[in-house]
Structure formats: structure tokens, C-alpha cells
Amino acid sequence: MQTLIGHVGPVLQPITAGGDSGRIGGMAHEFSVLPNNLPVPRDDGAAEHLPGIAVPALELPATTGGTLRVDQPFSGASRLVLYAYSWTGAPGAELLRSDWDQIPGARGCTPEACGFRDHAGELAELGAAVAGVSTQDADYQAEVARRLSLAFPLLSDARLRLATVLRLPTFEVAGQTLLRRLTLIVRDGRVEHVWYPVFPPDRHAEQVLDWLRAVV
């Protein structure tokens, strides 16, 4: 297992994003496309305690309506793929930092979500349900789910309940506590497997599929 770490420097002035892109210094910032020069996150050991740990029976607000528990799969699945991500841009939203791409592991939430969306059928065939979780509020997440046509739920841990109980790795940007990117396989109320750090995020769904095919 690997672990992500990134240095968070002084908070910079936010900039505005429109659609799936914003502008930084007059240049387009496309959230759905990963640049080639992203810094690779490195292992800091912050997730070493997670394999085998009991997952609390917490219910978090879900974009599919109501709440969902994070300790059990849904829709008749035998495993839950719970992927944590930091922050997604939205039309009219402000980027948290103009150097967001330079924080290791921060960029890529949109392509990661699209990867799970595109492979949802294959994951379901292997008995896995998918849910994303971040510290963004449920209304913000609902816009993302609609815009990206996500059939799976996004869960809001805005109160940091899950992050606190599981001691998930986080980082601070612009006064917000964000989750570092990682993925948990939850089975029978415990963490069966962990990916941390996750890189590259746009191919992570394929990594999860490969693991599932090897164990199912």
C-alpha cells in the first residue's frame, strides 16, 4: 500500500471556474483532462492503520437521496468500493488555489469519478457497489453527480465524522479540510483492501477492477 502526502503552502486567492474549466493566468483549466506533469503523490504511511479496521455504521447524506451507511454495500452487492476524493470543481465555483495542480494527489477528481462511472457495469458484475465520499456539502455534490451523469452516490462527510473515526488522511486548503485521495474496499463491515495514494486517478477504476478480478 502506498500513501499520499502533499505540502500545502500559503493560501492563494481563489479563481473562478465555469463549466468543466476555469482560467488560470489567462489559460484554460480543464478539470476533465489530466495534465502530463502532475506531481506524483508519495507514501507517508498515513493509511497503514486502515486494512482490517472495522468501519463504523455511519450514515452520510447521499446524492441518490436520503443517507447511506458506509459499513455495508448496497444494491445487493457483496463489497463496497468507497473512494475518497478531495474536491471537484463546478460551474461558477472558485478554485481553492491557483496552484491546485501542484499539490500532489489533488488534481483528478472529475476524471476519477468518470472512470468509476464508465466501469460501473463491470464493477457490479464482480459484486461491487461504488460510492464516492468527500467533505463537500451534499448540494455541491448533487450538482457534480448530475453534471457527470453519475449513477452511483456521492456521500458528504462535511462534518468530518467518517474522517475522524477512521483517522483518514486529510489536508487543509483555503480554510477547508479535504480528504486525501484513497479507496477502501469494505466487506463484512471491515476494510478489506486500501489504495493509497491513488495515481493516476483517471485509471484508478481499472486498478480496482483488476484487483476484484483477482480475488472474486
Please write the tens of the pLDDT for every residue from 111-126. Answer: 999 999 999 999 999 9
Percent of the chain with pLDDT over 70: 84
Q: What is the mean pLDDT of the chain?
A: 87
| Per-residue model confidence (pLDDT) at position 10 | 28
**Long-range Cβ pairs for the range 30-34 (8 Å, 24+):** 31/88, 31/89, 31/109, 31/110, 31/111, 32/110, 32/111, 32/114, 33/111, 34/107, 34/108, 34/111, 34/200, 34/201, 34/202
Position 97 pLDDT exceeds 70: yes
Joined together, the cell numbers standing for residue 7 give 505540502
What pLDDT is stored for residue 24 in this prediction? 37
For residue range 76-86, list pLDDT tens digits in order.
Answer: 999 999 999 99
- Kindly calculate the radius of gyration of the chain based on its CA atoms and give it in whole angstroms: 16
What is the spatial distance between Cα 81 and Cα 206, in angstroms, rounded to a whole number? 12
| Number of Cβ within a 10 Å radius of residue 76 | 8
Contacts 24+ apart (CB under 8 A), 32-36: 32/110, 32/111, 32/114, 33/111, 34/107, 34/108, 34/111, 34/200, 34/201, 34/202, 35/101, 35/107
**Residues whose CB is less than 8 angstroms from the CB of residue 40 and which lie 6 or more positions away in sequence, other chains included:** 104, 199
- Burial class (CB within 10 angstroms; exposed 0-12, middle 13-18, buried 19+) of 100: buried
Scanning 99-198, the segments in alpha helix (DSSP H) are 109-118, 120-125, 138-147, 161-166
User: Quick one: pLDDT at residue 31?
Assistant: 66
Check the CA dihedral 24-99-113-158 and report its sign. negative
Q: Would you state the pLDDT for residue 98?
A: 85
Residues 6+ apart with CB under 8 A from 159: none
Establish whether the linkage from the previous residue to 197 is cis, with ω within 30° of 0: yes
What's the rounded Cα separation, in Å, for the pair 101 and 39? 8
| β-pairing verdict for 79-84 and 21-24 | unpaired
Amino acid identity for residue 107 in this structure: R
Q: What length is written for the chain?
A: 216
Domain coordinates in residue numbering, the chain: 59-215
CATH topology of domain 59-215: Glutaredoxin (3.40.30)
What pLDDT does residue 23 have? 36
Minimum mean pLDDT range among 23-27, 28-32, 53-57, 135-139: 23-27
Residue 109 predicted with pLDDT over 60: yes
Model confidence band, residue 150 (pLDDT cutoffs 50, 70, 90): very high
